[in-house]
Structure 1
Amino acid sequence: MIVQLLIAVLLSGVGSYLSFFKPMILSSNIEAKPSRNWQWLGTVVSIGGSAGAVFYFSPETVVEWCSYLFVLVFFFISAVDLYSKIIPNRLLSILFVAAIPSLVYEFEIECIISSITMFGAFTILNLGVNRFYNKLAFGWGDVKLITMLALFMGWGVLGVIYLGIIIGGVFAGLGLLTKKITRDTHIPMAGFLFLAFVLKVFGVYFDFL
């Protein structure tokens, strides 16, 4: 268990450094960085949450460790998207690699089919909305993120998307009412998808969702 916790602290520490302190390494398009307080808060949350998850679930197999890595990187993606409105392709590439072992060992064909379907559906949606309204329904980073989620969890991604849109809609509605945002404000969707993903996973695990 000590070795597992050390691995968790190391991975989350490196991820925190790149995501909160040196995000330009992840993407040259990122210019903004969170404030010093948010940098350290994000680091504490990621290391504490990562160690807690490893302590509780005790991953041992390659698939279990890759699943842990997938969730950890998903958290960093949501955090980076929140303050920069950019989803780095380097982090998405790690998601793809982390999703591969479960496909190799368990070969869930529905994950491959759902991933292709989600990418095609959201690409068509974006192209259609862009043609008529000259804007995108979802950022292309969000489309790639949803594709990786589908590859990881199959058709369960539909529930995550549905719940994420609801949560995002509530926050957007509150933002409009309080005039913190406008109709033209870009909403970083990754954070809402991550929250929906956590609720969905724990809901299934603890049988409440």
Structure 2
Amino acid sequence: MLVIIIITILLLCLLLLAILLPVKLRCELTYHQELQLSIKLTIAQLTLFTYNKTWNDPLEDESIDIESLIDKFKKHINNFTEKKATTKHKMKVIKYFKKISIEIEEWETTIGMKGAATTGMLTGILWTIKGSVLGLLDHLFYLKNAPIVHVYSDFEEPVFQSTCSCIFSLRLGQAINTFRKINQSMKGLNV
């Protein structure tokens, strides 16, 4: 009987310890002639899961048509305004994301065209996009540190290369509790 009590107490201690352990999801996204994604899930510095995927250049087979890009953008804007009512309900779920902290280690991008004016405009647009994405991430999640962000311009040749490395972290107990709250919110919304 004493052995069962000791085993039960040890299991409860291990469970409590596991709840306090940090869960980290390290993501690295790289684009240079092909798109590469690398994901690594760790709990208390023990790797549980790794995933690596490479896609061939998605822009290589298709020619870029500005008209079709504008049409796609208009469709997305129309879909966004139609779904605005359901967005209010989803915002209740998004508030739980603040428990997740993000550490963006580095985000580097090189962009270039043959003309200096075009390269300058694209560089400015890229800075705007990166600033907006970082602002959105800061609003939704907890940013641990100020990210290191670089945009390099190449005035000699058309080029686009980008690398982003970040870590999402959350305590296991918080993950369980957040998942439970999100599940309850979704049931309450009948989604």
Q: Same fold (TM over 0.5)?
A: no
Q: Which has the higher helix share?
A: 1
Q: Which has the larger radius of gyration?
A: 2
Q: Which has the higher strand share?
A: 2
TM range (shorter): under 0.3
Return the TM-score normalized by structure 1.
0.24
The answer to which structure, 1 or 2, has the higher relative contact order (CA under 8 A, 6+ apart) is 2
